[in-house]
Structure 1
Amino acid sequence: MLRGVLFDLDGTLLDTVDDFMAVIDSMLEEHQRPRVAPELIRAQVSDGSVGMLSVAFATRPGEPGFDALREEFLSRYERALAVHTRPFPGILPLLDWLDSEGLPWGVVTNKLSRFSIPLMEQIGLAERCGSLVCPDQVSRGKPHPEPVLKACNEIGIAPEHCVFVGDHLRDIQAGHAAGMATIAALYGYLPPGEDHSLWQATHSVHSAVDLQPWLLSRRHLETPHV
């Protein structure tokens, strides 16, 4: 039976790509570089600043100037976390339903606390979120189950009664490793050509609006009598 839900952050709970694009566009302009297509950046969001900058500036970690670009990007983003960022359509009604049902929910992300905590505060979800686990709060991040298990402990729900929703293979791997059901959020930031069927998620959705019906069905599952 469903008793709690965990979400990835970028690409699952929140649509953050427009704020990333705004930072990258301004950097490209100042560095006198051509703009890149938004869909190319969108496909790299799950790989963080390294992935997005590698595509935008045709560079990679270890090359001259990359570290300075990354620091510039992170500094700019920290000052404008939630200008365009919004919950995906369907997320707020889902969170309202979870709250009304007394089902705690949390977030397990690979986004550092430096950004995740103020972002959740500015979006207005911090006080409602039962747990926010970031990679700098654990010794091993996703796909290791440690952050997922930490979140389960903080919301007080056993993993087998929890569902983890994420838009990346590592989210599904972390959920499975923790012993919980998983949902692949196919509306998120999937790279082109990604075969999500290989993730072997328990369920998948193409819109956040489709999350609640499936979670509702899990809510009413009865534990079989032995």
Structure 2
Amino acid sequence: MGTDNLTETLAGTIAVLFDFDGPLCDVFARRPAPEVARELALLATSTDPALSAKLSETDDPLEVLRLTHAANPELGLRVEEALTAAEIEAVAVAGEPTPGAVTALEAVRTAGRKIAVVSNNSGESVRAFLGPHGLAEHVLEVVGREERQPDLMKPNPHSLLKAAELLEVDVTLCALIGDSLTDIQAAHKVGAAAIGYANKPHKHQAFTEAGAEAVTEDMQAIADAIQSPQSND
């Protein structure tokens, strides 16, 4: 899958949805996700020790939230509040946006496409990053994790449908740029196009096998493709 796939995919869109962690920001670059997961697990197991076995099997903060909420919704809310605080701390020290992300956002906006961010991270943390880096002006809507409803995180397509509604576009005329299989799955569940951002070597093949309409290893390629004459015919 090369630039032609990317150009063709973007040509069929009127809105581009960006996942946050990966395509726009390396959220846990300096506040490692496994560290956050351990902190959340300790919070959860201090109240409900029975969760210890399950939570010890993951180093993903979002999975700690899912598992805790499924077992105990009220405890899950406490974990979620702690996760949101950790995400806000993390983006404050995460550094610059993903290479090529700023150019991609600018090009998509210049091409007349609407932009939303759809994320399993909290909306608060997304906005806390976009503002200081001058990216908020490009993004019309931010749809983050729904409070008390981690089951609505991707691969559930809820955030895509909500973003499309807020943007007043048909979700099937959207493309989602994401760096995980859950992004590809969420997009395809509602007929949106999926562009895989393969920021790790093994992801390119995984995204291709999952049926992504296009795969790129460089966010700059998004800008190049959407600026192509074929994307704006």
Which residue is 2:61 aligned to?
48
Which residue is 1:156 aligned to?
168
Which residue is 1:219 aligned to?
231
What CA distance in whole angstroms lies between the structure 1 residues aligned with 2:122 and 2:216? 26
Which residue is 1:32 aligned to?
none
Backbone CA RMSD of aligned residues: 3.8
Which of the two has greater helix per residue? 2
Asked if residue 17 in structure 1 is aligned to residue 28 in structure 2, the reply is yes
What CA distance in whole angstroms lies between the structure 1 residues aligned with 2:218 and 2:206? 17
Asked if residue 3 in structure 1 is aligned to residue 2 in structure 2, the reply is no
User: TM-score, normalising length from structure 2?
Assistant: 0.66
1:23–1:77: 8 Å Cα contact kept in structure 2?
A: no
Structure 2: gaps of 5 or more residues: 1-11, 40-57
Asked if residue 209 in structure 1 is aligned to residue 197 in structure 2, the reply is no
Which residue is 2:159 aligned to?
147
1:148–1:175: 8 Å Cα contact kept in structure 2?
A: yes
Asked if residue 82 in structure 1 is aligned to residue 95 in structure 2, the reply is no
Which residue is 2:115 aligned to?
105
What CA distance in whole angstroms lies between the structure 2 residues aligned with 1:145 and 1:76? 25
SS in 2 for 1:212: helix
Q: 1:69 to 1:109 in 2, by over 3 A?
A: closer
Residue correspondence of structure 1 range 127-146 to structure 2 within 5 A: 127-136=137-146, 140-146=152-158
One-letter identity of the residue aligned with 2:192 = M
What CA distance in whole angstroms lies between the structure 2 residues aligned with 1:2 and 1:133? 19
User: TM-score, normalising length from structure 1?
Assistant: 0.68
What CA distance in whole angstroms lies between the structure 2 residues aligned with 1:2 and 1:73? 33
SS in 1 for 2:196: strand
Asked if residue 123 in structure 1 is aligned to residue 133 in structure 2, the reply is yes
Tell me how far 1:91 sits from its aligned partner: 1.4
Structure 1: gaps of 5 or more residues: 29-43, 52-59, 222-226
What CA distance in whole angstroms lies between the structure 2 residues aligned with 1:101 and 1:70? 37
Which of 179, 182, 200 aligns to 2:194? It is 182
What CA distance in whole angstroms lies between the structure 2 residues aligned with 1:48 and 1:191? 22
SS in 2 for 1:111: coil
Larger mean CA deviation between 129-138 and 193-202 belongs to 193-202
1:2–1:215: 8 Å Cα contact kept in structure 2?
A: no
Q: 1:140 to 1:157 in 2, by over 3 A?
A: same
Asked if residue 198 in structure 1 is aligned to residue 194 in structure 2, the reply is no
One-letter identity of the residue aligned with 1:131 = E
Identity rate of aligned residues, in percent? Answer: 25
